[in-house]
Structure 1
């Protein structure tokens, strides 16, 4: 049969059971012995016991970084950044981008996951900021400002993706 344990403790990785085996022969003689059966927990069902599995819940976050190693991470990261109004051809005050996650600390946003930036602005993953000098080369004759919708995405170790959209307004110089 396939062993199962319905009431694992939150950090329990194995459980031992003592089983007495009795035998009786045709002459009525009896004997017995006790053996120990160890059931190893496999939270994610991948065939690797939790005791040696580096990612018990198979959520992509190693147990040594996972706040809840027995519970798969299904929550997307939360990204925070503010809207900004900037002036064309002038260095901007950097726009700080922060990301938090319920189980995975230290998520770094890939610059390729920041889209819609005005020309001249980039996302710097080292400083976690949008930086640069914006430029617009195709102003309309009466256009005084242009709004850009900037989407920022982040993915945690479990593959959950969060996103937010901010508006950067470039004022004509």
Structure 2
């Protein structure tokens, strides 16, 4: 069974922020807000929990550092030790200062690439995915607030018109 949603369109981001706060005060759940540009503080006003991508970034960086240390120890010390510039490679600790740039680069490489992959998987942004934007005007100059209807259609329409919505539509989700 398809559910019904209300799409309230706004033309100003300040009016949108005020509307989001009023809708949240009235204890309605906002499904999504579509914006043509990032609106500072909108996630907090909507009650969205903070992201944990920084934690995953740290873990991915630790994985990259571990891979760098194991790789350099195996390649330069165990598998094929070389005498470079009169400095023999008998132990990893003796040569660690020379390996610092490689450790740094692999830490950043792993953290950056795995964060991007995690972001795309978490956001369900696959290659060739169709856009889920309900109104094309939100890519230009309008803001759209989407609220699911639970037998409170008239109340929501009245509330949204009071908040300054320039257009209110009911759609199937």
Q: TM-score by structure 2 length? A: 0.22
| Between structures 1 and 2, the one with greater helix share | 2
Q: TM-score by structure 1 length? A: 0.22
Q: Which structure's CA Rg is the greater one?
A: 1
